[in-house]
């Protein structure tokens, strides 16, 4: 016995109107204005900085004369190499001490300047203002100030690194604290936990790897900064570079620059290795 299935009549397919493509006139006009503004700003910067390809070409002979006086480097052990190695050690020590001694103040400012751990709006704004001040003042300006206060030498460089690094590291640490999940924080806050308890039991344990990684990165940067601080009398290899330039001993200067290159590479490789081990 066969059953006959009734088929419903086919319904005509209704064609919907195609929506018109959105006009991009406004977007193109905004992009054109942005390009014109960028071009205008760069033209102004070109003029303000006296940027000149012709001046560079004309001064190329001076560069070749300078390189001719600097090459080959002076490798005299007693007069150049040994003092340079000691100065590299001082430069490394300035960066290390400046980074380490800035940790307590950076941590306090980061806790007070992060929203998950700071309930008082006044303390939050004050902490952010202190961070901004220490970041805004260059480390070389701090070095000039401390040189007049404590005299020439690496101690002024350490103080300069502490001040400038406190603002930068506190800013980076506070941003890391603000990126964590807020669920555990809200739960403890409802239970009556104070801000120090939230920081000690939730926030800081969650961001320890990030804080250590940023600390190592800043140590790498501070070692390079301590080189520049030596140019203004804060000790280290930068002081010897400045001295050799003043005496027109460019071959000695090249030796010191090569030492700096080796020092920077060693510090960069060592800090990168530690950061990779922490990330594993």
Q: Number of structural domains, the chain? A: 1
Q: Is residue 56 part of a domain?
A: no
Residue 209 to residue 222: CA distance in whole angstroms: 20
pLDDT tens readout for residues 89-109 = 888 999 899 999 999 999 999
pLDDT band at 162 (very low <50, low <70, confident <90, very high): very high
**Cα→Cα distances 105→73, 170, 227, Å:** 42, 8, 24
Q: Is residue 55 part of a domain?
A: no
Q: Is residue 145 part of a domain?
A: yes
Q: Is residue 6 part of a domain?
A: no
Mean pLDDT within 177-181: 78
Q: Is residue 91 part of a domain?
A: yes
Q: Is residue 210 part of a domain?
A: yes
What's the CATH number where 94 sits? Answer: 1.10.3720.10
pLDDT band at 1 (very low <50, low <70, confident <90, very high): very low
| Half-sphere exposure in the Cβ direction for 257 (13 Å, CA) | 14
**Cα→Cα distances 254→229, 266, 270, Å:** 18, 19, 24
pLDDT band at 130 (very low <50, low <70, confident <90, very high): very high
Residue 25 has pLDDT above 70, yes or no: no
Mean pLDDT within 232-240: 82
Stronger pLDDT, 128 or 118, i.e. the higher one: 128
Q: Is residue 100 part of a domain?
A: yes
* pTM, full prediction: 0.75
Q: Of 216, 219, 218, 209, whose CA–CA distance to 279 is shortest?
A: 209
Question: Do the beta carbons of residue 258 and residue 74 sit within 8 Å?
Answer: no
Mean pLDDT within 230-257: 84
Stronger pLDDT, 129 or 184, i.e. the higher one: 129
Least confident range from 65-69, 80-84, 90-94: namely: 65-69
Given this model, what pLDDT does residue 191 score?
Answer: 65
Q: Is residue 15 part of a domain?
A: no
Question: Do the beta carbons of residue 90 and residue 227 sit within 8 Å?
Answer: no
pLDDT band at 12 (very low <50, low <70, confident <90, very high): low
Tell me which residue range forms the domain holding 238.
Answer: 75-279
């Amino acid at each position: 016995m066969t059953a006959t299935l009734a088929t419903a009549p086919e319904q005509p397919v209704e064609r919907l109107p195609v929506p018109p493509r959105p006009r991009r006139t406004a977007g193109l006009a905004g992009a054109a204005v942005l390009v014109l503004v960028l071009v205008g700003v760069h033209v102004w910067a070109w003029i303000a900085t006296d940027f000149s390809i012709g001046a560079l070409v004309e001064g190329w002979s001076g560069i070749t004369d300078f390189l001719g006086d600097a090459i080959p480097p002076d490798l005299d052990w007693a007069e150049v190499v040994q003092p340079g190695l000691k100065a590299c050690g001082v430069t490394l020590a300035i960066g290390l001490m400046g980074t380490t001694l800035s940790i307590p103040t950076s941590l306090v400012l980061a806790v007070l300047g992060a929203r998950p751990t700071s309930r008082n709006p006044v303390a939050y704004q004050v902490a952010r203002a202190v961070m901004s001040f220490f970041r805004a003042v260059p480390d070389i300006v701090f070095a000039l100030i401390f040189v007049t206060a404590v005299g020439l030498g690496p101690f002024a460089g350490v103080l300069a690194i502490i001040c400038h690094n406190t603002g930068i590291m506190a800013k980076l640490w506070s941003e890391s604290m603000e990126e964590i999940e807020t669920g555990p924080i809200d739960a403890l806050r409802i239970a009556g936990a104070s801000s120090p308890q939230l920081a000690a039991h939730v926030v800081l344990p969650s961001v320890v790897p990030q804080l250590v990684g940023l600390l190592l990165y800043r140590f790498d940067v501070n070692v390079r900064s301590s080189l520049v601080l030596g140019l203004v009398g804060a000790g280290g290899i930068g002081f010897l570079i400045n001295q050799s330039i003043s005496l027109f001993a460019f071959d000695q200067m090249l030796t010191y620059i090569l030492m700096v290159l080796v020092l920077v590479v060693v510090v960069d490789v060592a800090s990168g290795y530690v950061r990779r081990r922490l990330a594993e």
